[in-house]
Structure 1
């Protein structure tokens, strides 16, 4: 009542009063009113004129309006995109939380305001100004892409959707949404990289295939020449040196195929300890980084793709080396462990380098992620992919300025490592089979010739075919003449013609017991990895070694006889 008295006294003093007041009806309900008090002079003296208006409806409308504004403001604050409004001078009058975060302002813009064009890089401002003018003039425009400018001066791509705001027909500002395109452009760039990588992969695979065909001719002739010379012969050492150089060339094609492939690992039983030591030493040759290897003497073998495991160790060792630019020691351990009753080989690669920041550890195996300025981001991604394809696991632990440790677990095997290498001579006792009829299908003449020479030295009868169609026809003729081939060696890939897979299907229709060996310069082709599923009894990758070719022929013939 004291406040009411103040209003009444002020009005009687000649100061009109307009205010809101809560009144009560006879039934006790309270309602809002607007009170207008004025002094009036009547014949009998000054009086107070009071006009009271029920404004309940207005209060209700104002409440609904506040609720609506709060609802839409809350939604704007929740949006993952930046929302903004400007006044008629294009200074920002409202921005949601995302806008402040996106541009690096801590909840408020400068006191003197921030012009919308201040958020655009200088190179795009004139174009943005023109677009705004067209929008104000009522010309329809779609969303426009610019490079925006953060408070710290860094630029990033954005897409701006904006409309003019009008009141009584006059433009009073702009209202719009700004979309950060950084992640989208990054994804698009990664897709482009993947497409390029796929194209390069196809090219790499083609190069490796052709290169392996050439190597087969060179390697085969070198081995044949060595077989007919004694180690004391003057020319033997030159041939041996050439063979070692060819081994390096063969390793190069394996790297190309590993890069290009999308198939499964071609597994064999391997002495993983020996591979670790040899690969690590080779990777660190000429380096000032030291190497310590601690390989358990009873380390179990693993079934794996030798070329791919070489790639894993090489990538991890080179990463460790690069993390220690001033030198240090890399420690590699390998031991047998039991995990949930399963025998596994545990490998650790530890360095004393700069380490990896904790926020990057979860991304370290992501494609194209790299903490190096010149890194491609593919090395560790490839390592992770290879280990997973081998049924293993890999994890990383790191402490900044103290070093990083990669830990790998691979399934162990009780099988013994296969020995297919080594030197054999024309008079070797390993030639247990002779007068075996062998059909060779390969589109490369040099391959047919050198493999034919090798087989003839082994004592076999050789027939050639240039593609799958000719091979099927010759096999059919031999079968019909009751003089079938004992072994068929077929190239998997024949450009423009029938390849080994299709030819094998046709030959098995003629002779379900056919003994076929698949061969390819694409040593990582899925057919090479799971050759038995395609009807082959053995496989041999190019370039051929005399001993490996001889061993696989003996093996398939032996298995064939045991099943008869």
Structure 2
């Protein structure tokens, strides 16, 4: 795909000085279309590769609040026309997770919300701890001010190639589901109180025993590297 894109761009540069008027406009339009379609195909290929690849986790203790704060900095800088709200519970439990994969999950869900709202809208990222049947979980949600998702679409929204958008690969939320499954969690979408969509991810928290063990291992590691 890259050679096709480079060839189209080179062709435009080579011929742009040799044609004028309507022919110049036609050349620009056709080469621009080629480049845009190649970029779209690249996006689809990359998304399919990401979805199809075998999981290879590099898990470590993770505080999701810190990851969310890092990720939202990028969106604050690039989506100034949209308000980003953070409601992060400082007492959330830690989780054992692959930070790279979780970052991809967050990006996909947040990007999906940004694509669903117009300028002047907002999205809200929230975290909290949840206890169910004696087990502790971390719950992360992304809510937006968009139009919401129709019930008939919501039931299959995390399946590959199911999308409400006219662009994109249709794999973004399928990848989210795959990453959640890799971490023994669950994900769902529901109607938000103010009419938009609310995506919820629930992941198992580190047990108190595992947390103490990880703290001890880290303490031992720090002691070993001290001069």
- Fold-level match, TM-score > 0.5? yes
* Alignment check: 8 A CA contact 2:51 2:174 kept: no
In the TM superposition, what is the alpha-carbon distance from 1:393 to its structure 2 partner?
Answer: 0.5
Alignment of 1:491-510 (within 5 A): none
Q: 2:160 aligns with which of 364, 367, 375?
A: 367
TM-score (norm 1): 0.29
Corresponding residue SS for 1:285: helix
* Equivalent position of 1:487 in the other structure: none
The alignment status of 1:315 with 2:108, answered yes or no, reads yes
Structure 1 residues 260 and 369: alpha-carbon distance in aligned structure 2, compared to 1, 3 A threshold? closer
* Equivalent position of 2:180 in the other structure: 387
Corresponding residue SS for 1:265: coil
* Equivalent position of 1:402 in the other structure: 195
Unpaired runs of at least 5, structure 2: 1-40
The alignment status of 1:412 with 2:205, answered yes or no, reads yes
* Equivalent position of 1:272 in the other structure: 64
> 2:45, 2:111 → 1: CA distance?
22
* Equivalent position of 2:124 in the other structure: 331
* Alignment check: 8 A CA contact 1:357 1:398 kept: no
In the TM superposition, what is the alpha-carbon distance from 1:431 to its structure 2 partner?
Answer: 5.4
* Equivalent position of 1:430 in the other structure: 225
* Alignment check: 8 A CA contact 2:122 2:144 kept: yes
> 2:146, 2:218 → 1: CA distance?
38
In the TM superposition, what is the alpha-carbon distance from 1:265 to its structure 2 partner?
Answer: 2.2
Q: 1:358 aligns with which of 151, 166, 177?
A: 151
Alignment of 1:198-237 (within 5 A): 201=49
The alignment status of 1:341 with 2:146, answered yes or no, reads no
Corresponding residue SS for 1:281: helix
* Alignment check: 8 A CA contact 1:265 1:390 kept: no
Structure 1 residues 405 and 353: alpha-carbon distance in aligned structure 2, compared to 1, 3 A threshold? same
TM-score (norm 2): 0.68
> 1:264, 1:430 → 2: CA distance?
28
Q: 1:285 aligns with which of 74, 77, 98?
A: 77
Runs of 4+ in 1 over 6 A off after TM superposition: 417-420
> 2:218, 2:123 → 1: CA distance?
30
* Equivalent position of 1:303 in the other structure: 96
In the TM superposition, what is the alpha-carbon distance from 1:326 to its structure 2 partner?
Answer: 2.3
Corresponding residue SS for 1:385: helix
In the TM superposition, what is the alpha-carbon distance from 1:375 to its structure 2 partner?
Answer: 2.1
In the TM superposition, what is the alpha-carbon distance from 1:261 to its structure 2 partner?
Answer: 2.9
Once the two structures are superposed, residues 197-236 of structure 1 have per-residue CA deviations (whole angstroms, 9 ceiling, x without a partner) of: 59x73xxxxxxxxxxxxxxxxxxxxxxxxxxxxxxxxxxx
Structure with the higher helix share, 1 or 2: 2
Structure 1 residues 392 and 372: alpha-carbon distance in aligned structure 2, compared to 1, 3 A threshold? same
Once the two structures are superposed, residues 292-343 of structure 1 have per-residue CA deviations (whole angstroms, 9 ceiling, x without a partner) of: 1111121111000101110111111111111112231211111111011101
In the TM superposition, what is the alpha-carbon distance from 1:277 to its structure 2 partner?
Answer: 1.8
* Alignment check: 8 A CA contact 1:284 1:318 kept: no
Structure 1 residues 316 and 419: alpha-carbon distance in aligned structure 2, compared to 1, 3 A threshold? farther
> 1:374, 1:329 → 2: CA distance?
21
Corresponding residue SS for 1:346: strand
> 2:197, 2:150 → 1: CA distance?
10
The alignment status of 1:262 with 2:82, answered yes or no, reads no
In the TM superposition, what is the alpha-carbon distance from 1:357 to its structure 2 partner?
Answer: 1.2
> 2:76, 2:149 → 1: CA distance?
21
Once the two structures are superposed, residues 140-197 of structure 1 have per-residue CA deviations (whole angstroms, 9 ceiling, x without a partner) of: xxxxxxxxxxxxxxxxxxxxxxxxxxxxxxxxxxxxxxxxxxxxxxxxxxxxx9xx95
* Equivalent position of 2:170 in the other structure: 377
Unpaired runs of at least 5, structure 1: 1-192, 202-257, 421-428, 433-564
In the TM superposition, what is the alpha-carbon distance from 1:271 to its structure 2 partner?
Answer: 1.1
* Alignment check: 8 A CA contact 1:392 1:409 kept: yes
